[in-house]
Amino acid sequence: MKNKADRRGFIKNAALQTAGFGLLGAFANKVQATRHIVAQSKPLPTWAAPRIRFSVIGMNHGHIYGMTEAVKRGGGELVSFYAKEPELVAEFSKRYPDAKKAGSEKEILDDNSIALVLSAGIPIDRAPLGVRVMKAGKDYLSDKPGIITLEQLAEVRKVQKATKRIYSIMYSERLENRATIKASEMVQSGAIGKVIQTIGMGPHRERPETRPAWFFDMKQVGGIITDIASHQFDQFLHFTGSTSAKILASQVGNFRHQQYPGFEDFGDTMVQGNKGSGYVRVDWFTPDGLDTWGDGRLTILGTDGYIEIRKNTDVASGNKGGNHLYFVNNKEMIHMDCKDVELPFGHQFVDDILNRTETAMPQEQCLLTMELAIRAQKNAIIIT
């Protein structure tokens, strides 16, 4: 009897295994290989003569060079610059020898030929400078975070409304990333249906020996969520189309930098908008083995598919460099190499300065981004 039972069990198990392999085989027949394509866009216009004149005040962060190049691509002419720090002035002057070193901030603000001022000063100084720039009748482009307190935000909103000047912030993880630009085109065309959620990851490499003292002072930078996560809040608003939102939860912590009391090396938050939801995580834990400063990622979930962007590197494949976009819908899987996609921000921003429009970034979206980041920071639970 025992032998018959064992035989029946063997036959049953064999039948189940055979059925399983059959199912796997049927599934495998439906799986399509990922298509690899190079995404391109139409060349942006160039200009024989400058369209606007602009200046730089404050260059404490290296982002100022990317900001300057973006405006130059849009037809801007860099005419002057000013900073208090001689070493920063020397470095900037070497990069842009044709620009004039101004003797003071006032010299730039009093020059009526200058339409725009850029700044990547210490974060706490960026909003007060922007207020002075707008009152001087000029438009303003700040590095992120462009505002670090609710009091600064209220003043910026008041002066912007009164002067009708542009107060913009360079959220470069969207505006200066070619794969993210391509994702914008795809979402706007309906490629993944209605956007439900964004997940933004913003890890950064720290290298404390290269950082100035103010970097470790949260009163100077606003905190890790105010600082880094402003990128992710910008992408959340942009891709969901939300015009209002609230913070559901947020937390920050200092896990590896006890020598810097009050410093934050980790933060995350959940946000709910009127047209979608979002999750954000940022940190200063990029390991030295990574081939870039941070494995920045963005996932955009839609009702008919999803997009994932590997902004700076792709550790999961043999695809080199950054600007990788992965797109999955009901028909296929596609990998897009977006290295040849044009960056339109500079062109659109200069257009906005000349035409008093909001094509590069809606003014309220720019400020709502910082409001969300500041509120998430202010109400964050401290992890110990």
Tens of pLDDT, residue by residue over 146-172, are 999 999 999 999 999 999 999 999 999
DSSP string, 272-290: EETTEEEEEEEES---TTS
Which single residue is written with the structure tokens 């069990």?
A: 9
When pLDDT is cut at 50, 70 and 90, the band that residue 31 belongs to is low
| Helix (H/G/I), strand (E/B), else coil: 73 | helix
Q: Is 174-345+373-383 CATH 3.30.360.10?
A: yes
Which secondary-structure segment (H or E) carries 18? helix 2-30
Q: Which among 116, 181, 129 has a CA at the least distance from the CA of 351?
A: 116
Task: Give backbone dihedrals phi and psi of 298, rounded to 5 degrees, phi first.
Answer: -140, 125
When pLDDT is cut at 50, 70 and 90, the band that residue 186 belongs to is very high
Both tokens of 62, joined, read 């290296």
Which secondary-structure segment (H or E) carries 103? none
Fold adopted by 52-170: Rossmann fold (3.40.50)
| 46 alpha-carbon distance from chain centroid | 26
State the Cα torsion 68-72-73-74 to the nearest 10°: 110
320 contacts: CB under 8 Å, gap ≥ 6: 314
Task: Please say if the pLDDT value at position 5 is more than 80.
Answer: no
Domain residue limits, the chain: 52-170, 174-345+373-383
- Helices 345-355 and 63-73 pack at an angle, to 10 degrees, of 60
Task: Give backbone dihedrals phi and psi of 294, rounded to 5 degrees, phi first.
Answer: -175, 140
Sheet order of strands, 195-203 included: 35-40, 333-340, 324-329, 305-310, 297-302, 195-203, 276-283, 266-273, 245-253, 381-383
Are 75 and 377 contacting, i.e. CB atoms less than 8 angstroms apart?
A: no
Q: What is the mean pLDDT of residues 332-348?
A: 97
Question: Residue 175: left if φ>0, alpha if ψ -120 to 50, beta else—which one?
Answer: alpha
Beta strands in the chain, from DSSP E residues, in sequence order: 35-40, 52-59, 76-82, 100-101, 116-120, 139-143, 167-170, 195-203, 245-253, 266-273, 276-283, 297-302, 305-310, 324-329, 333-340, 381-383
When pLDDT is cut at 50, 70 and 90, the band that residue 11 belongs to is very low
Are 350 and 53 contacting, i.e. CB atoms less than 8 angstroms apart?
A: no
DSSP character at residue 361: S
Prediction pTM value: 0.90
Tens of pLDDT, residue by residue over 215-271, are 999 999 999 999 999 999 999 999 999 999 999 999 999 999 989 989 999 999 999
DSSP string, 225-247: HHHTTHHHHHHHHHHH--S-EEE
When pLDDT is cut at 50, 70 and 90, the band that residue 94 belongs to is very high
Are 265 and 255 contacting, i.e. CB atoms less than 8 angstroms apart?
A: yes
Which secondary-structure segment (H or E) carries 259? none
When pLDDT is cut at 50, 70 and 90, the band that residue 41 belongs to is confident
Q: What is the mean pLDDT of residues 187-199?
A: 98
Q: What is the mean pLDDT of residues 123-143?
A: 98
Q: Which among 250, 228, 209, 206 has a CA at the least distance from the CA of 380?
A: 250
Question: Residue 116: left if φ>0, alpha if ψ -120 to 50, beta else—which one?
Answer: beta
